Amino acid sequence: MNRLLISAVLGALLPLAFIGGIAMQNESHVLHADRAAFQILLPMLLFGMMAFAVWTLMRQRPSAA
């Protein structure tokens, strides 16, 4: 149950972080120099965390009810 809760929290927070990062990039002059790295690494991080959440959920054993 704890893994499910952690996966749900990460699944809810990561898209918000992704959108917030894009909004922050559009307003910051410092981040414009790193636009390519920022636009590649953030989706990779998001995909990796989503894959980890799916992997965690797939490892869950159904409870014998």
Per-residue confidence (pLDDT) for residue 25, from 0 to 100: 61
pLDDT under 70: residue ranges of the chain = 1, 19-38, 62-65
Which residue's entry shows tokens 């927070």? Answer: 13
Q: Which long-range contacts (CB under 8 A, 24 or more apart) does 28-32 make?
A: none
Per-residue confidence (pLDDT) for residue 34, from 0 to 100: 63
Per-residue confidence (pLDDT) for residue 9, from 0 to 100: 74
Say whether pTM exceeds 0.85. no
